[in-house]
Every structure is written in C-alpha cells, then in structure tokens.
Amino acid sequence: MVDGALRACSADPDLHLVLVGPQSAADEVIGALAVHDRERVSVIVVESRVGMADSPLRNIRRESTVRASAEAVFAGRAYGMVSAGSSGAAVAASAHVLGRLSGVRRPGLAAALPTPNGPVLLADVGVTLDATMLELVQHAVLGAAYAAVALGIPGPRVGLLSIGSEPGKGDRLRRAVSIALSDIPLPAGSRYVGLVEGHDVAQGGRADVVITDGFTGNVLLKGIEGALRGTRTHEAAAVLLGVVGDVVVCHGAADGSDIADGIALATRLHRDGIIPAVGELADDLLTELSSAGGLTIRDQLGERT
C-alpha cells in the first residue's frame, strides 16, 4: 500500500489521502513525500487489521482498518475507500457501515477487462459465492448501468456466463436467470444477448457486461489476470456495486502500480459522480425486483417447461 500511495500522490497533484493503518506505515508514506506535499496526507491510526483467513462478519464488529475506512467515508472525512486486504471484510464493512442501495440483496464486485473489441465488465468477481437468482439479476441491472455510465457504452449488451451459448445450456440457476433477464427491461437501453462463454469475456465483441456468480467470476478473473501479467493492460481493481459509496477492492497480491490504479479509479468514481448516477439508473428496477418478493428458479422454469 505504501508504494501505491506514493505513486498515486505523484500522479495526481490534487489528490488528498487518508491513510488508515499502523502509524509506522503512514510515517513511511509521509516521510517519502516532498515537504510541501505532506499536508495532502492525513492518518487514522488503526493497529489491528483483518487477515485473509479471518471471518469478515466477526471482524467488522471490532476496530479494524476496513471498518475504520468505511466509517471515514460515511462521516465525510474521505470520499472513497480503497482496500487491498480481505475482499470479504471490505465488502462486509462497506455494506454494514455505508448501507446498500434500495432493494439490493447483496452487493457485487465488477471488474473491467480489456479485450481486442473493447472493455468487458465482469460481475460478480468474488462476493456471491453461492449466488441466488435474484442476486444475479440485480447484478445484471447494476452492471448494465455501470457500463453505460463509467465505460461510456451506449445500450450495453448483457450476457450470462455459462458452459455454452445455446439456449438452455447450464445448470438450473443459469437457465432460470437467462429466462428472467429476457423478460425484464434493463436500464440505460441495455439488452440481454443470451448465454456467453469464457472466451467471449477474453475476446469481447459479444457482450459488454458478463454476469456470473462470485466463485466462477473470481476464478475466471484470476486466470485472465495471470495471462495478462506483466502487460499492464488490465485494471487490477474492482468496483463494489450496490453500496451507497465509492468502494474499490484490489486483490491481495496487488503491487504498487495496482494500488495506484485502484486509487485513481476511486478518485474518478467520486469526481465523475459515477455511483450516484448508477444508483439513479438502477433504483426503480432494483426496488421493483425486491418488492415483488424476489425471483425463484421454480417460477421461471415452471413457466417454460
């Protein structure tokens, strides 16, 4: 985090950082800055942190760096939050402290991946390991809105990741989600284009937004990152969609350049008002899906079998 913070400060002269963590780490950053830049950094001292093996839910109830970071955003001391620790803890703290958008069951992480045919937004990449039908549909709504606002894609094409692109391919969950996405009006003029495969994520051209559960998405993301390692063509950070605030999560193996990219992404989210715009586009549909009592696999498959 130290190297990433220094890189971010160097790249953006208007950036002000609130460092949350041990005093020793903060001193390392401040000491490496030019004297006239040191006033751009403030510190919230938290000596304890959540380890990768710790329970996220248990640790958000005690003092930790992720909880203190979320509280700083909630209090207005910071405009956004960047974490490179436990993804589960960062997501849990953000949802608990900042709150979720109206109707959102569980937030999801979305990562923009470069392809020869333009960026592809992959969601979820690590939160909903056992995703429900409603959660996948809501992530499609949020992802479509984000692609339109943040990536500037007019009428984003939304696909659902499966083992084949033919209709009916995949397990019961994916078949039901595919039917549901075909039946609802997605935001920002986006449209559902059907089932897509892993190579469609890597090559682009078929879907601008690809929806999957957090387990599958995380495996696919890390595979693509491994293939692109050393090229610096990908953004090693994911945006948390579905919470009331600007939250960016970097993976635990992130280097200084990755952290700096994550800080730059969080800065852009704030300056461009991206998350509020996403919420405005998605709000009515998210609320409607939630207030309808959710979606069930039986309802969707039962209508067509």
- Is residue 38, in this structure, part of any structural domain at all? no
Task: For residue 178, give its domain range.
Answer: 103-241+272-305
What is the number of domains present in the chain? 1
Q: For residue 14, is the peptide bond before it cis, meaning its omega torsion is within 30 degrees of 0?
A: no
Amino acid letter for position 17: L
CA atoms of 133 and 151, how far apart (whole Å):
26
Res 62: pLDDT: 64
- Is residue 186, in this structure, part of any structural domain at all? yes
Q: For residue 272, is the peptide bond before it cis, meaning its omega torsion is within 30 degrees of 0?
A: no
Alpha-helical runs (H) found in the chain: 2-11, 23-32, 56-59, 65-74, 87-98, 133-150, 172-183, 198-203, 214-228, 256-271, 274-291, 297-304
- Is residue 284, in this structure, part of any structural domain at all? yes
Whether 15 contacts 38, CB under 8 Å:
no
Whether 65 contacts 37, CB under 8 Å:
no
Q: How many CA atoms lie within 13 A of 76 on its CB side?
A: 0
- Is residue 226, in this structure, part of any structural domain at all? yes
CA atoms of 214 and 124, how far apart (whole Å):
5
Per-residue pLDDT in tens (0 to 9) along the chain, 305 residues: 778 888 998 899 999 999 998 898 888 888 988 888 899 999 999 887 666 556 566 556 567 889 999 999 999 999 999 998 888 999 999 999 999 999 999 999 999 999 999 999 999 999 999 999 999 999 999 999 999 999 999 999 999 999 999 988 889 999 999 999 999 999 999 999 999 999 999 999 999 999 999 999 999 998 888 877 666 555 679 999 999 999 999 976 778 888 999 999 999 999 999 999 999 999 999 988 887 655 665 566 665 43
- Is residue 11, in this structure, part of any structural domain at all? no
This prediction's pTM: 0.91
- Is residue 114, in this structure, part of any structural domain at all? yes
Res 305: pLDDT: 38
Q: Which CATH number is 290's domain given?
A: 3.40.718.10
- Is residue 63, in this structure, part of any structural domain at all? no
- Is residue 295, in this structure, part of any structural domain at all? yes
